[in-house]
Structure 1
Amino acid sequence: MIDEKKLEDRLVALEAAKSWSPRVVSRLETLLRSGTDEALYRINPIQFATEKSIAEAEAIDLFLHACVAGLFDMDWQLVCPVCSDVVESFRSLRKLHTHFHCQLCQSDYDAALDDFITVTFTVSPAVRGIRFHDPDTLSAWDYVFHYKLTPGGILPDGVPWSEAAKGLVRVLTRIEPGAVASLEVDAVEGALLGQDFDSDAHFFFPIATDTGASSSHVPVTLDSGKCEAAPASIAPGKIVFDVRNAGKVAVVFGILQLPSATFHRPQLDFTPALSGKRLLMTQTFRDFFRSEVISATEGIAVLDVTLVFTDLKGSTALYERIGDLNAYIQVQRHFQHLLDVTVRHNGAVTKTIGDAVMAAFSTSADAVQAALEMREAVDQLNRDRPQRDFILKIGVHRGASIAVTLNERLDYFGQTVNIAARVQNLADGDEICITEEVHAAPAVADIIAPYPVAKSEAELKGVSKAMSVYRLARMES
């Protein structure tokens, strides 16, 4: 099942891609060679990092580089928050949409990059074939509990919902077009739910001892996403559902025994996963997947992003003093320093505009730590020069935004972007301005505690009320 030559060639390319921590690539090779089919399907890089004692950022980089090398395929998934069903999966961000309908829950959702959108990695069929590469050949059990449901949804008692749901299943089978399946169930008090796992087709029968005479056979017809079940009163005991597939495609159909007629799925927590937001804020993704664009005309919502804007004070005078070419070279050095700092703190540079940089971070703590280190990095540049040519102005703001494609580049749009840029304009040279939203974010107060901070109110263009801004000066020596 393993193409040894392709595996070896692509592992060599992966090893040469960058300087990895010791044994990182060998751990991935072990997984590729000896992992089960389940372990190589929809891999969660965050979970991989935990299990293999690898830094999360390096694990994400590892799988992105492995995709480039042809070892894995990347999937963008829409995951139901109620039942952990992978409702839809896309090989490209271009095809991703944000409104989705979960057929298992009969519910509609609007996804944001922070929520309901996760990114996983599956071994490339060119390297190693696994049974999940061809879902039509899977058993009904594999299809539902390994292909459809993600193990990431966790019940309050710590058990994955996908495991708990197995205990509810009384019958699970694949019914070919034109076939009739006689499905016998030993019903108990509660309810029976019959479900086509690929459409809205379902039936629901309460089961109670006081219903009178029990029906022994119930005819059921499935056709083009619809389910018609004969009326029946069902008491506890043996019951047979004669399910006819009148459609043109095979149906994976199951019957679940629910504890009550008013059964509600318990609220799920989800194990940490690589969100669409985190991936878009990973520099490796932005560098190697430049062709990925957001096709949705309205963009995709990001509920919580922290943006850092920087600009150089007095750069015009620098160009006049040392000439355009020399100044350009020095400004590019400054860009590289800011990029390095951004990557170290789990962010990504979205764009550069003239001498300015816009970077995005998942957390305000990372953004503020990066801003402070950016200031120090520029100071280091100045130490090699006869005078302080580089004086940085930095603004940081947190809020919701829209991820869009502008000028063939993934970008952010909205009021959060506008405010972040205007807060940067408030900063004097060597100053970092952060808004109240950033100041109040977790861990930020501890990070800025050693620095002199002055709070003021600022009127910003396009903002209806004054905003609190905190100015971070240099640490007092």
Structure 2
Amino acid sequence: MEAVVHEQALDERLAALEAARAWSPRVISKLESHIRSADDAALFRINPIRFATEKNIAEAEAVDLFLHGAFLGLFEMDWLLLCSACSCVVESFHSLKGVRSQFHCGMCRADLEAALDDYIAVTFTVSPQIRSIAFHKPEDLPARDFAFAYKLTDEGLLPDGTPFVKALQGWTSAISYLPPGTTRLELAVQEGLLHAWSPDSDAGFDFRVGGAPAISSQTVHIHFLGNRCEPSEGTVAPGRLAFEIENATGQQGFIAISAIPAEALPILEIPRLEFVTHLSGSRLLATQTFRDLFRSEAIRAVEGIGVRDITLLFTDLKGSTDLYNRIGDLNALSLVQQHFELLREVTVQHGGAIIKTIGDAVMAAFTEPTDAVRASLAMLQNMEVFNRRTPNREVILKIGLHRGAAIAVTLNERLDYFGQTVNIAARVQSLSDANEICLTSEVLNAPGVKDILASYAMEQERVQLKGIHQQIPVFRIHFADIPAL
């Protein structure tokens, strides 16, 4: 079927997208071509990181492209909770408000926990106001498409690089919606396991296949009870087999039966899949464009959502009280605001986001420690240039860095971070002096950081921070040891 594109809406929103910021050559035309010519599957839950690779676009620009596109109505943004064992989409939400860290996978029949940087992915689907695709109406999809294209993703990989969903497709001998009444599913089975599953509930069963082949066709009666099946396990012989599944719930159900050969059973013991790089919730929260465009996004969960690895950068000004006294409140405030803009610009250039300002201080977040370190060096370099233009009105910067786990929360209607990593980062910053960077070993020992700092003189000291039971090593770099721009 030929794609039906709503031309006026597409033209208007592409024009607004083009005006949203400066884009690299042909970025908008590549996106337009994709919207017009890609098949339905390629316009459903687009991974912007994968899109960037396929279209030869810088990752950060591709993320910005889809965020602006979602803001302008070209795309719908989805937050996906992914099962680490089967790569199914356990749940999806159009807003961060719906996301939580505790969830249940019906396919695996297991309770799971996700963090913003682990198994929470953000994707983008073309808006129905721009182009209608089959996945906008999942209830109308054939059973196989509903299971393997809508409920499962192809981004969870087995050790040999095969998407788990492709292996599961190959094993699946029968798949069907279950209207009220009895559905008969016939299949030929060999030694191994018959694993029946439903992507929306715990309904399923496991039958071992073994022993001598059956002389005649076997029939097994199953009661589908919505969230479970009875019997839930059993044994059958190799050969022809029919399942007669009675659905007495009065509502449509779903079942898929995967015949997993004996030699493939160890695959089911793999505790977690490797995932294609996706736009994680953690990276999105540390993206300035997201924080600027989607200010109303909030984490509803009272306990917040965990982030396993975030690098936090704190800055403050040395002698700001004296600055206000010397040049007056209005002049000093103007300089401080200019310094905020400079720090924001540097933070964005290095892939981070400003989380908040606290008086004259800034808190920024980065998903990559190397980006945070490069940003801190650039901040001191740029502040030196800034101060040359304002003699006798110097804005003197102090910087601290720490890396670790944190809790993403909504505080004062703003996405923020909470926990010991935040406390340590702030206290490490308080150790720094004028034009200095202080960082912890967690940052220094991150991959690539020592290479960045190899040519800089560093002083190490052990310090006792408030609230920390033992002394920790802190590494100090002074601006005099940092080459000028």
Tell me the TM-score range normalised by the shorter chain: over 0.9
User: Could you say if the C-alpha distance between residues 232 and 341 of structure 1 is closer, same or farther in structure 2, counting changes exceeding 3 Å?
Assistant: closer
Q: 1:369 and 1:145 mapped to 2: Cα distance? A: 42
Q: 1:163 and 1:232 mapped to 2: Cα distance? A: 26
Do the aligned partners of 1:305 and 1:398 also contact (CA within 8 Å) in 2? yes
Out of 38, 43, 49, which is 2:41 matched to? Answer: 38
Match of 1:201 in 2: 203
After superposition, residues 290-301 of structure 1 pair within 5 angstroms as: 290-301=295-306
User: Could you say if the C-alpha distance between residues 204 and 243 of structure 1 is closer, same or farther in structure 2, counting changes exceeding 3 Å?
Assistant: same
Match of 2:185 in 1: 183
Q: 2:375 and 2:482 mapped to 1: Cα distance? A: 19
Q: 1:232 and 1:260 mapped to 2: Cα distance? A: 16
Shift of 1:194: 2.0
Question: Structure 1, residues 1-26: CA drift from partner, whole Å, max 9, x if none?
Answer: 21110011000000000000001111
Do the aligned partners of 1:218 and 1:229 also contact (CA within 8 Å) in 2? no
Question: Structure 1, residues 229-287: CA drift from partner, whole Å, max 9, x if none?
Answer: 49865211111111122123222211111123965424521110000000000000000
1:221 aligns with 2:223: yes
Shift of 1:209: 2.3
Q: 2:105 and 2:232 mapped to 1: Cα distance? A: 25
After superposition, residues 313-332 of structure 1 pair within 5 angstroms as: 313-332=318-337
Question: Structure 1, residues 197-234: CA drift from partner, whole Å, max 9, x if none?
Answer: 32111121111124887762111121221211498652
Alignment RMSD, CA only? 1.6
Taking structure 1 as the reference length, the TM-score comes to: 0.97
Match of 1:244 in 2: 246
Question: Structure 1, residues 289-348: CA drift from partner, whole Å, max 9, x if none?
Answer: 010011100001011111000011011111111111111111111000100000011100
Residue 360 of structure 1 aligns with an amino acid whose one-letter code is A
After superposition, residues 19-418 of structure 1 pair within 5 angstroms as: 19-176=22-179, 178-210=180-212, 216-229=218-231, 233-260=235-262, 263-265=266-268, 266=270, 267-387=272-392, 389-418=394-423
SS at match of 2:22: coil
Shift of 1:388: 5.5
Q: 2:228 and 2:193 mapped to 1: Cα distance? A: 20
User: Could you say if the C-alpha distance between residues 308 and 231 of structure 1 is closer, same or farther in structure 2, counting changes exceeding 3 Å?
Assistant: closer
Do the aligned partners of 2:104 and 2:112 also contact (CA within 8 Å) in 1? yes
Out of 437, 441, 466, which is 1:436 matched to? Answer: 441
Q: Which moved more, 1:149-158 or 1:299-308?
A: 149-158
Q: 1:476 and 1:201 mapped to 2: Cα distance? A: 62
Residue 200 of structure 1 aligns with an amino acid whose one-letter code is D
User: Could you say if the C-alpha distance between residues 232 and 365 of structure 1 is closer, same or farther in structure 2, counting changes exceeding 3 Å?
Assistant: closer
SS at match of 2:372: helix
Do the aligned partners of 1:211 and 1:233 also contact (CA within 8 Å) in 2? no
SS at match of 2:392: coil
Q: 1:64 and 1:235 mapped to 2: Cα distance? A: 54
Q: 1:364 and 1:133 mapped to 2: Cα distance? A: 39
Question: Structure 1, residues 156-201: CA drift from partner, whole Å, max 9, x if none?
Answer: 222111111111011111121x232111111111121222332111
Shift of 1:95: 1.2
* Equivalent pairs, count: 476
Gaps of 5+ in 1: none
Do the aligned partners of 1:309 and 1:359 also contact (CA within 8 Å) in 2? yes
Q: 1:2 and 1:156 mapped to 2: Cα distance? A: 40
Q: Which moved more, 1:441-450 or 1:84-93?
A: 441-450
Q: 2:14 and 2:412 mapped to 1: Cα distance? A: 35
Q: 2:482 and 2:80 mapped to 1: Cα distance? A: 49
Residue 410 of structure 2 aligns with an amino acid whose one-letter code is T
Do the aligned partners of 2:206 and 2:232 also contact (CA within 8 Å) in 1? no
Q: 2:421 and 2:192 mapped to 1: Cα distance? A: 50
Do the aligned partners of 1:282 and 1:348 also contact (CA within 8 Å) in 2? yes
Do the aligned partners of 2:226 and 2:253 also contact (CA within 8 Å) in 1? no
Q: 1:196 and 1:4 mapped to 2: Cα distance? A: 39
Do the aligned partners of 2:205 and 2:233 also contact (CA within 8 Å) in 1? no
Out of 472, 478, 484, which is 1:473 matched to? Answer: 478
Q: Which moved more, 1:227-236 or 1:341-350?
A: 227-236
Taking structure 2 as the reference length, the TM-score comes to: 0.95
Do the aligned partners of 1:401 and 1:412 also contact (CA within 8 Å) in 2? yes
Q: 2:382 and 2:171 mapped to 1: Cα distance? A: 58
User: Could you say if the C-alpha distance between residues 119 and 231 of structure 1 is closer, same or farther in structure 2, counting changes exceeding 3 Å?
Assistant: closer
Q: 1:466 and 1:165 mapped to 2: Cα distance? A: 51
Q: 1:29 and 1:467 mapped to 2: Cα distance? A: 52
Shift of 1:476: 6.5
